[in-house]
Structure 1
């Protein structure tokens, strides 16, 4: 009787191609950058005071020391809401958000900072697009985003500057107020006022950039949607021309808030 033999089965070894290895490596790398959720930056890049530098940069640009006081919740929110206006549009592609790209920007009071109103439009037009409609859509989306952010920022700005008026009036009633405390209080009020003025100037620059871009789109790729884009830019310009907070030249102790 023939001997029956059952060979011992072993696990099949699967060869991993170089392409698969590369994909696995990329997925691990992205997992480390995103902290678990795709599209979100690592927590290393985020913290409650990640935009605190805005106040210090604004005051330093005009030779004024920054306050050492901790930020209040409204002051922190003011800086968080200011950053999307301070960051020029079209400077953060989607992939940069994945890798946690983040950088500070100089305020308008820094010397040798020259605003180029053509930069946004040239980037918008030079980037590859499927059609001229997508360029108009990008322009309108950027303007619409600014309009959407306008009210939340200035609502908080009114609140912060109104509290600063109360802070200013309270200084003379504080017992044993040290020179350092007084200086920090004044510096914080200056910071807050400068941030509001910084955003106002950025809005004016954005409107100028949007108009330049629309004018070039009209002559290079005319489309009926240009009228809608023009109306949106006009809406943003009207909001910027009449903000809830009255802007003042650079800095001052007196803070004007409209009702």
Structure 2
């Protein structure tokens, strides 16, 4: 019987220079994405005042003037800490979060259409997951992140609002105070107050979204993890209902006043 010979497949190797070129092209393409690598904001987006737009958006959205004063260190920190709380929570496809997303957000007084408390939960449920446990874990992580961010933001808000009270009290005693200086001072105080109210509203909306999402998870895929998620949501809700800051309401929903 004649010997049967099977053809041996020939593996074509990509020359080293070509493979290196491909890797370079892939690296360049990923580097060109707006969010940088592994969820970090790209370096060319980073600067000391990268969140200064928050104040201008808050005041302009309600028809108030924008202050021309430079930000103080405390005011800059307030805006930096506000951004993660006004950015929508992270129920989104994992491949998008890898590249990180950064973008200006409309204030609550400009948003249209109206807030949809179901959007977070629908994205969470509709996005494919390996198991229902990963959905619960995502809710738990998002709520825990908000709890972690709560104290630093409101600690900065306390300092800023307290200094604004002192600024306001000093205005009648400033010699030769120009109309422009007064306008900028008042505008900055309104701006700071609106930022605190903006975060407050976002926290209340997030809590509503988390509750809606958890309720749907419970009926779709009951799990003991629901108790942990519910406990964290209640903790965030309790903190949000009693913020440790007194901000003079400018417009819309006022921040709770505490002594």
Structure 1, 26-35 or 170-179: larger mean CA deviation: 26-35
Report what 2:160 is aligned to.
Answer: 160
Distance in 2, matches of 1:251 and 1:34, equals 34
- Structure 1 residue 84 corresponds to structure 2 residue 87: no
Structure 1 position 107, deviation (Å): 0.8
Report what 2:186 is aligned to.
Answer: 186
Mapping of residues 19-168 of structure 1, within 5 Å: 21-30=21-30, 40-90=40-90, 96=96, 99=99, 101-110=101-110, 112-168=112-168
Structure 1 position 139, deviation (Å): 0.2
- Structure 1 residue 244 corresponds to structure 2 residue 226: no
Q: What RMSD over aligned residues (CA atoms) do the two structures have, in Å?
A: 2.8
Structure 1 position 36, deviation (Å): 9.8
Residue 250 of structure 1 aligns to a residue in which SS? coil
Distance in 2, matches of 1:125 and 1:37, equals 26
What is the total number of aligned residue pairs between the two structures? 245
Q: Deviations over 1:16-45 (max 9, x none)?
A: 597764333112444566999765433211
Q: 1:247 to 1:217 in 2, by over 3 A?
A: farther
Q: Which structure has the larger Rg over C-alpha atoms? A: 1
Distance in 2, matches of 1:256 and 1:221, equals 37
Report what 2:9 is aligned to.
Answer: none
Structure 1 position 129, deviation (Å): 0.9
Structure 1 position 175, deviation (Å): 0.6
TM-score normalised over the length of structure 2: 0.85
Q: What residue ranges of structure 2 are gaps of 5+ in the alignment?
A: 1-12
Report what 2:7 is aligned to.
Answer: none
